[in-house]
Structure 1
Amino acid sequence: MPLPKIADARKLNAEELAEEILAAKRKLFELRFQQATRRLEKNHEFKHTRHRLAQLLTVERERELTAQSSEEE
């Protein structure tokens, strides 16, 4: 399974982006829980989920900075 592309995250609107961020955080929690109870089978899911969360947060921050710079002008 390849890592998700940031272009996919940039296509999302603000509401979808917030939902995706929440879903990624929830999935990380579930993965940590599975690891603690020794039920985790796919260790690579940590990497993929953290990567996706970082992409989503980056896109969110880019949008904040763009909105902030447009307000200043």
Structure 2
Amino acid sequence: MDANELRGKTPDELRTELVNLKKEAFNLRFQAATSQLENTARVRVVRRSVARVNTILNQKAAEAAAE
């Protein structure tokens, strides 16, 4: 999901997306620890998606505070 799609979502939707991504990241870490992870690149994608959602949330919070 790119940043433009995320900017169109509400903060509540972004928080839900963040929870889902963190759950996925946990599951991927668990799979890696038990040597069951097939797609190692997915860990990087999920980690960056979490950072992207956090960035958009912080931007929306800053905009709301400025108003």
TM-score using structure 1 length: 0.86
> Which position in structure 2 is the counterpart of 1:22?
19
CA-CA distance at 1:53 after TM superposition: 0.7
CA distance in 1, matches of 2:61, 2:13: 15
> What percent identity do the matched residue pairs reach?
27
> Which position in structure 2 is the counterpart of 1:55?
52
CA distance in 1, matches of 2:7, 2:24: 21
CA-CA distance at 1:46 after TM superposition: 0.8
Aligned length: 67
CA distance in 2, matches of 1:8, 1:69: 23
| Structure of larger gyration radius | 1
Q: How do residues 1-40 of structure 1 correspond to structure 2 at under 5 angstroms?
A: 4-40=1-37
TM-score using structure 2 length: 0.93
Structure 2, unmatched stretches of 5+, are none
CA-CA distance at 1:64 after TM superposition: 0.7
Q: Could you list the runs of 4 or more consecutive aligned residues of structure 1 that deviate by over 3 angstroms after TM superposition? A: none
